[in-house]
């Protein structure tokens, strides 16, 4: 599949590398050349330094043939803007945006943007792995 990853921090960089290793055609967009370089020589996808929602940058990234776009920057406004452009102008079939502030979930819902919420996922995973029932960590005498 042809996929665009917007944002090359720890989350986006890891996502891009793993999708690339699975054989997908990946293009990563970020404003910071250092973050793109951090993908390393093993990353065989396309790296573009530029404004994440710029029309020319998106065209260079292959948005016209993209099967999916993942907006996973640490900036909520960039994620929303890029997602709306991909959704409403380019009709990318699958769009997922990273939620930075869980209190803003309702905005994505109103805009009908699919989301991933790393904070919520982490909390749920920790809660699911807690021992059942009330247990003390210290032995009682």
Any idea where the domains of the chain sit in the sequence? Answer: 2-119
Cα distances (Å, whole numbers) of residue 41 to 31, 36, 38, 76, 113:
19, 11, 9, 29, 33
Residue 138 has a pLDDT of 55
- Residue 2 buriedness (CB in 10 A; 0-12 / 13-18 / 19+): middle
pLDDT in tens, 43-98: 999 999 999 999 999 999 999 999 999 999 999 999 999 999 999 999 999 999 99
35 close to 8: Cβ distance less than 8 angstroms = yes
Say if residue 40's pLDDT is above 90: yes
Say if residue 31's pLDDT is above 90: yes
**Residue 130: which pLDDT band, with cuts at 50, 70 and 90?**
confident
Residue 9 has a pLDDT of 96
Question: What's the CATH architecture for 2-119?
Answer: 3-Layer(aba) Sandwich (3.40)
Nearest of 114, 116, 66 to residue 89 by alpha carbon: 66
Residue 119 has a pLDDT of 81
């Amino acid at each position: 599949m042809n996929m665009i990853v917007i944002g090359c921090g720890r989350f986006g960089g890891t996502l891009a590398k793993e999708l690339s290793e699975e054989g997908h055609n990946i293009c990563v967009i970020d404003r910071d050349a250092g973050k793109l370089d951090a993908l390393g020589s093993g990353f065989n996808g396309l790296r573009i330094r530029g404004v994440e929602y710029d029309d020319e940058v998106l065209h260079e990234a292959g948005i016209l043939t993209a099967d999916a776009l993942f907006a996973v920057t640490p900036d909520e406004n960039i994620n929303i803007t890029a997602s709306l452009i991909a959704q409403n102008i380019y009709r990318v079939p699958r769009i997922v945006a990273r939620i930075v502030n869980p209190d803003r979930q309702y905005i994505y819902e109103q805009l009908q943007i699919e989301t991933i919420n790393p904070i919520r996922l982490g909390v749920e995973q920790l809660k699911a792995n807690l021992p059942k029932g009330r247990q003390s960590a210290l032995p009682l005498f």
